[in-house]
A and B are shown apart, each in its own frame.
Chain A
Amino acid sequence: MNIRLFSYFVTLIIKSRMEYRGAFLIGAVGQITGYAANYLVIWLLLQNFDTINGWSWSEIAFLYSLNILTYAIGASFTYTPMVSLDQTIINGDFDKYLTKPLSPFTYYLANLFNIGYIAHIVISLLVLLWSITQVDVSWTAVKIIYLVLAVISGSFLQAAGLVVIGSLSFIFLRVRYLFEIFFKLKEFIAYPISIYGTLLQMILTWIIPIAMINYYPSIYLFDDSVLTNKILGIVALAIGPLAFYISYKLWMYGANKYQGAGG
């Protein structure tokens, strides 16, 4: 499936959602309020303590926004399709995605693209842009390009997590609670992972590499004079697309094995 067809699907979805503009806007306001509260709590906390492990309010805001922004981008494409995959299989509706002359993966994603994450994107992008002006970083062209790539890579990594869990639907059928575990795990990267013990830091870096979403890009941008920051910063750019490719293969493997739920 090419990009033009994909974006045509997305346009159709946006148009149909905009039929109910009022409900959509109220929903967006609700979500923005929700995230604003999370920012506010951290801000209030840092009124007392100035820094968490040497991270100031603007640096934490940068770290936090990077996580929400990349999640929102990744989840726009993958959350709804992956979370509803088990039910789609159980209902026997998955077959229609296999009988079109298109890749079932991209066709399925395009069909269930979710525009609802726009509120997440608005608030996290606003705070991110604000924090960029506040943090103690001399922004060069290289660093700006790095940040853009880090957002792309992070979005792929977030999407990969959702696709991996979704592809387990082909085997176990009911996987909804695994998504909850994924979200609980992501709570760990809301703050700099340096506050945890070494073992947990290693797990979050190499085994479930979610620290690559926001922590390593942040420390690379804040201080590239340290060699390990540089190396891990570069690794963070590669790991997102790589993880997404692996998750895609896993998903396609599952789809090929798919026999229907006895329907």
Chain B
Amino acid sequence: MMRAYYAITCKAFFRNTAYRSEVWLRIFGNISIVFIQISIWKALLGTGTLNGIDIEAMITYSLINASVSMILMNKVIYVVDDKLKTGDIISDLLKPISYPLLLFYDQLGNVVFQIMFTVVPTIFIAWLLFGFSVPTDPYTIVAFAISLLLALAISFLMGYLIALVSFWFLTTFALDWMVTALITVFSGSFLPLWFFSAEWKLVADILPFQFLGFVPAAIYMGKMDASEIIWMIMKGSVWILLLWLATQFLWGRAIKRLVVQGG
């Protein structure tokens, strides 16, 4: 079984190599975004600090967030949408493997490609241009790696859930805009949750979006102590469980509907 998933991931990886010109574009886009954010934080913080955060910290924060955003899987929504519209979903359903896992490993191929050809070059160029700090504590590195896995799983399940919802409403585009809006604000990818006022921070804490940017960056920068990290990992795991249950529930109903529609 593992061999089949491995093959799916490889196929997705090589599919990406067909779009080499887009690699430069993404690197250019990432560097631009990081550069703009650093310029803003320089204008805001100068040589000072706010809540113990200085410009050096914000450079690292911006870079980690730009990199994490490259490996999120919430755009899986468009893969499902496309397969629904063309009817290709039928051939996927005939395969003797679980459909969400098929999608997940397919997305994983994209992520591996992104890491090799976008994230690594972006970090290298940004390191030359702006410099950034690297954690040395092995526990921090392990915790950061776990937070990345949480980000992968949560973003995937979120995208997949929206895709299942659009089985009924067929408004993928609008739903994606709304989720993207929530991610923009509550992932903290531009404005860290440290700078949120108490009531906005509370909302961000309740929602799962902070795992898609803020949490990995804060762990990477050593801004969370051990008990906070363990609490966050537990919370993230509960979110994965909840989202997974929701997708399982909707999937059962969506399949019935698909049959009723006659494919």
* Choice from B42, B174, B181 contacting A27 with Cβ under 8 Å: B174
Which residue of B is nearest A54, CB measured?
B43
- Once bound together, how far apart are the Cα atoms of A40 and B174, in whole Å? 19
> B169-209: which residues lie under 8 A (CB-CB) from chain A?
169-171, 173-178, 180-182, 184-185, 190-191, 195-197, 200
**Complex interface: stretch among A62-70, A180-188, A233-241, A246-254:** A180-188
In the assembled complex, B50 has its CB within 8 A of some CB on chain A: yes
* Choice from B50, B181, B191, B200 contacting A33 with Cβ under 8 Å: B181
- Once bound together, how far apart are the Cα atoms of A184 and B39, in whole Å? 15
In the assembled complex, A207 has its CB within 8 A of some CB on chain B: no
Tell me, rounded to whole Å, the shortest Cβ–Cβ distance linking B81 to chain A. 14
In the complex, are the beta carbons of A49 and B44 less than 8 A apart? yes
In the assembled complex, A37 has its CB within 8 A of some CB on chain B: yes
> A18-71: which residues lie under 8 A (CB-CB) from chain B?
23, 26-27, 29-31, 33-34, 36-38, 40-41, 44-45, 47-49, 52-53
Q: A26-B171, A184-B32, A188-B36 are in contact. Are A44 and B184 (CB under 8 A)?
A: no
- Once bound together, how far apart are the Cα atoms of A44 and B197, in whole Å? 8
What would 21 A/B residue contacts be, using CB atoms closer than 8 Å?
A26-B174, A27-B171, A27-B173, A29-B178, A30-B178, A31-B174, A31-B177, A34-B184, A36-B181, A37-B184, A38-B184, A40-B185, A44-B195, A44-B196, A45-B44, A47-B197, A49-B50, A52-B44, A177-B25, A184-B33, A187-B32
In the complex, are the beta carbons of A30 and B175 less than 8 A apart? yes
> A143-157: which residues lie under 8 A (CB-CB) from chain B?
none
Which residue of B is nearest A40, CB measured?
B185
Inter-chain contacts of B44 with A (CB < 8 A): 45, 49, 52
Tell me, rounded to whole Å, the shortest Cβ–Cβ distance linking B33 to chain A. 7
In the complex, are the beta carbons of B200 and A44 less than 8 A apart? yes
Q: How large is the interface on A (under 10, 10 to 19, 20 to 34, 35 or more residues)?
A: 20 to 34
In the assembled complex, B29 has its CB within 8 A of some CB on chain A: yes
Beyond A30-B171, A37-B182, 9 additional pairs, beta carbon < 8 A: A29-B174, A37-B185, A38-B184, A44-B191, A177-B25, A180-B25, A184-B32, A185-B32, A187-B32
In the assembled complex, A196 has its CB within 8 A of some CB on chain B: yes
Q: A38-B184, A41-B185, A180-B25 are in contact. Are A191 and B36 (CB under 8 A)?
A: yes
The number of residue pairs between A and B whose CB atoms lie closer than 8 Å in the complex comes to 86
Q: How large is the interface on B (under 10, 10 to 19, 20 to 34, 35 or more residues)?
A: 20 to 34
6 closest A-B pairs by beta carbon, nearest first, are A30-B174, A37-B181, A30-B177, A195-B43, A37-B184, A34-B177
- Once bound together, how far apart are the Cα atoms of A23 and B173, in whole Å? 10
Tell me, rounded to whole Å, the shortest Cβ–Cβ distance linking B180 to chain A. 6
Q: A180-B25, A181-B28, A187-B32 are in contact. Are A41 and B40 (CB under 8 A)?
A: no
In the complex, are the beta carbons of B178 and A196 less than 8 A apart? no
Q: A27-B174, A36-B181 are in contact. Are A52 and B43 (CB under 8 A)?
A: yes
